[in-house]
Structure 1
């Protein structure tokens, strides 16, 4: 087994960002692997999914100990995302979808990055809309919350399985709209991290069965990301989350342009 120090440094950087914000696992790591390390897109997606699931276990443990995980919301998301991930993997297996050209995967990742970046930029507006709906028509909003959360999970399940992107960045945007009063910023991060674990694990194991995982790369990333996510989770309560979110959104937008122009 060969350990690559540069891959570990990348894992440390992304792991720290994930620990602080709950965002950046797939959205940052997959483009880094493809653009900077020359990893084949399908291998980048598969390896990143397993890397993310293991990394986020450590971050979730920290948030759980601090009481910043809403497990009821996690369950609602999982009711949609896990079956959607399994069905997407079944489609990839039986239709040969995992053998699509790298260009298709790159285009899909680029589009997912644009959606994610826009969601992050307009996160506060979505929060305001959700809050007004929640306060103005409380009973109706509470009645549709569970169903809309499951639907959000379905969207995340398909998107994450295909591109490894969305569980963190897009997931937090959806939760901000759906639970504008229930989730504080810390609970938003912890809840999103907790939901991402089973989703990324199922999708990652599916890609493993398709041969889309590089073990040496996976170990190298984990050596950096595990301490990174622990550090990030510990300092998350003191981090300027809004500033970091805007910075990540801008970076994702630029990376998306690069991916789509490849």
Structure 2
């Protein structure tokens, strides 16, 4: 969403803040529906969010102290890097197993890193967390989905407040995006069922990598 808004001419800082609001609203529905169908590992989600709190606070300080123009330039560069990284992790998801013994301390550290990343790009929470939980902590993929939705909701909600405080949110645009969610989900479900989930995921990740590359070129 954020890179799409930037390509449409929205200021990078406003694109991130608006996307965080949009993500918060849509994830509320995600948590509701997932809670009805499967259990959610709140113990993991809460630890991730606890690690993210200092990152959100630090992000708020940076947003207030650094000039808007400088922020916009660096947000675009960072977003390009994170998009490419996220796409690569998605393509590798479940295919490699890192020889690291899982510890709760790593969950807090992961929360901090992802919290800082999402704070300035609005992307990466689902992909980075799910990749790490499956390949390092060996968490059941069915549990990972619930964790990323709940954690993503809490993180996007608190991160959005930072952008709202500096006037970095377009509420009218966010409303239009939310309004388009239902028909988008309906259409996406039909496309996914006819094409096949894995094939569609690979195509989407390749598109994300290309967009990330274009953003990096744009900053040069």
The TM tier, using the shorter chain, reads: 0.7 to 0.9
User: Secondary structure in 1 aligned to 2:180?
Assistant: helix
Residues paired across the two proteins, number? 217
The answer on whether the counterparts of 1:56 and 1:229 sit within 8 Å (CA) in structure 2 is no
Q: 1:229 to 1:202 in 2, by over 3 A?
A: farther
* Matching of residue 111 in structure 1 with residue 111 in structure 2: no
User: Secondary structure in 2 aligned to 1:39?
Assistant: coil
Residue matched to 1:154: 112
Given the alignment, which residue of 40, 48, 55 partners 2:26? 55
Q: In structure 1, how many angstroms separate the alpha carbons of the residues matched to 2:140 and 2:134?
A: 8
Q: In structure 2, how many angstroms separate the alpha carbons of the residues matched to 1:86 and 1:57?
A: 23
Matching of residues 208-227 of structure 1 within 5 Å: 208-225=164-181
Residue 124 of structure 1 and its aligned partner are, at CA, apart by: 2.4
Greater relative contact order, per chain length (Cα 8 Å cut-off, separation 6+): 1
Given the alignment, which residue of 62, 77, 83 partners 2:48? 77
The answer on whether the counterparts of 2:13 and 2:71 sit within 8 Å (CA) in structure 1 is no
The answer on whether the counterparts of 2:52 and 2:111 sit within 8 Å (CA) in structure 1 is yes
The answer on whether the counterparts of 1:91 and 1:97 sit within 8 Å (CA) in structure 2 is no
* Matching of residue 123 in structure 1 with residue 80 in structure 2: no
TM-score scaled to structure 2, two decimals?
0.87
Matching of residues 251-262 of structure 1 within 5 Å: 251-262=207-218
Q: In structure 2, how many angstroms separate the alpha carbons of the residues matched to 1:176 and 1:146?
A: 15
The answer on whether the counterparts of 1:74 and 1:191 sit within 8 Å (CA) in structure 2 is yes
Q: 1:230 to 1:197 in 2, by over 3 A?
A: farther
Q: 1:205 to 1:55 in 2, by over 3 A?
A: same
TM-score scaled to structure 1, two decimals?
0.74
